[in-house]
Amino acid sequence: MPEISETPIGHLRKAVIGQKTASLPEPPKDPLLQPLYELLYEYDQYIAQMVINVLQGNLNSEDYSQRGQIDSLMRESVNSLNPMTKRELDLYKNYLLRLDNMLMLAKAVVQDRQ
């Protein structure tokens, strides 16, 4: 039998612990990034609630309806920003990757339990 840390639930718990040290980057200085920031905030809340539900045994895992819009805003923002604002965008991209990873792990737990 695999150790608990090697199971999907173990990986998800490690990600949750790691996420506690990360936080959503500061609100943007450039107003062009504000809509993206707001969607990231909502996505963060969605992922947090989903992970809590999965850890409590609720296996309902609906997709986040605005995820495509986040990608679209990311693509649009890359071409229209100055170098300093692109640094902020990079922080948002890295945070988005962490959230996506947590979503993937939560879905793996759901699949493992079914």
d(CA 57, CA 46): 17
Per-residue model confidence as pLDDT tens digits over 91-112: 999 999 999 998 898 888 888 8
pTM as predicted: 0.83
Per-residue pLDDT of the chain (114 residues; tens, 9 = 90+): 455 568 888 888 887 777 766 677 888 888 889 999 999 999 999 998 998 888 888 877 677 889 999 999 998 888 777 777 888 889 999 999 999 998 898 888 888 877
Calculate helix-pair angle for 34-55, 67-80, nearest 10 degrees: 150
Task: Quickly list DSSP for 68-80.
Answer: HHHHHHHHHHHHH
